[in-house]
Structure 1
Amino acid sequence: MENRAKVSIYGGTYSIQGEAAPEYIERLARFVNERMEGVGRSLSNGTPLQVAILAALNIADEYMQVRDLKVGLTGELEQKTRQLISLLDEGLIGDIFSQFEASRSHPPLP
């Protein structure tokens, strides 16, 4: 189902059509607008195209940093999970072995 949202970004009005909810599209547009306004303030003589390109680069930089962080955290989580599983396995195997040894030294009563 196609949804539509009318949004304002850096002085322009755009009609956006997509699968996402209109509220989400509006949220994305607010984010882009905020970034472009921030770049526009620091680049006072920049054209709208220059502002858009620099804002896109800033957004891409943030995205890549978050993606790299996620990859690192995912790898760390997987490693810690394997370590915990190994410790659990060692503990369980040790318990089972101890129980087995105890049962061999004390046979059940008839």
Structure 2
Amino acid sequence: MSRSVKVVVAGQRLSVRTSAKPGYIRDLASYVNARIDELKGTGRTMSTQSLALLAAMNIADELHQAQASEAALKRRVREKSQRILRYLDREAELIP
């Protein structure tokens, strides 16, 4: 079921059409606003558009780092699982 959720991001009122829960969309907007506020705190004067673009770049960087960490974790789990299976196979061969 699609619904419209109203949020404010970087001082702009937005109406987001989504099937996600309204609270989730508000949490996303709060997260983006927090990242923009961090950039405002650097003391540099920037336009709202520049702040939004830099915040988007920072969030994209976080996403890519999280994806790389997830991929590395999956790789380690797969490797350990394979080692455990090889061990169990060797032990099973020893059982008469």
Q: Distance in 1 between matches of 2:54 and 2:47?
A: 11
Whole-Å separation in 2 of the counterparts to 1:52 and 1:40: 10
Following superposition, the deviation at residue 72 of structure 1 comes to: 0.6
1:43 and 1:59 map into 2 onto residues whose CA distance is 20
Q: Which runs of 5+ in 2 are unaligned?
A: none
Please say which structure displays the higher CA radius of gyration.
1
* Cα displacement (A) at 1:65: 0.6
CA offsets, 1:33-69, max 9 Å, x none? Answer: 1111111221531000100111011101111111001
CA distances 1:51-104 after superposition (whole Å, capped 9, x unpaired):
011101110111111100110110010000000011011111111xxx2xxxxx
Match of 2:6, SS? Answer: strand
1:82 aligned residue: 82
Cα RMSD for the two superposed structures: 1.1
Summarize the alignment of residues 31-50 of structure 1 with structure 2, pairs less than 5 Å apart.
31-50=31-50
Structure 1 CA distance for aligned equivalents of residues 85 and 67 of structure 2:
27
| TM-score of the aligned structures, taking structure 2 as reference length | 0.93
Residue 57 (str. 1) matches residue 57 (str. 2) = yes
Identity among equivalent positions (%) equals: 29
Could you tell me whether the CA contact under 8 Å between 1:43 and 1:51 is conserved in 2? Answer: no
**TM-score if structure 1 supplies the norm length?**
0.82
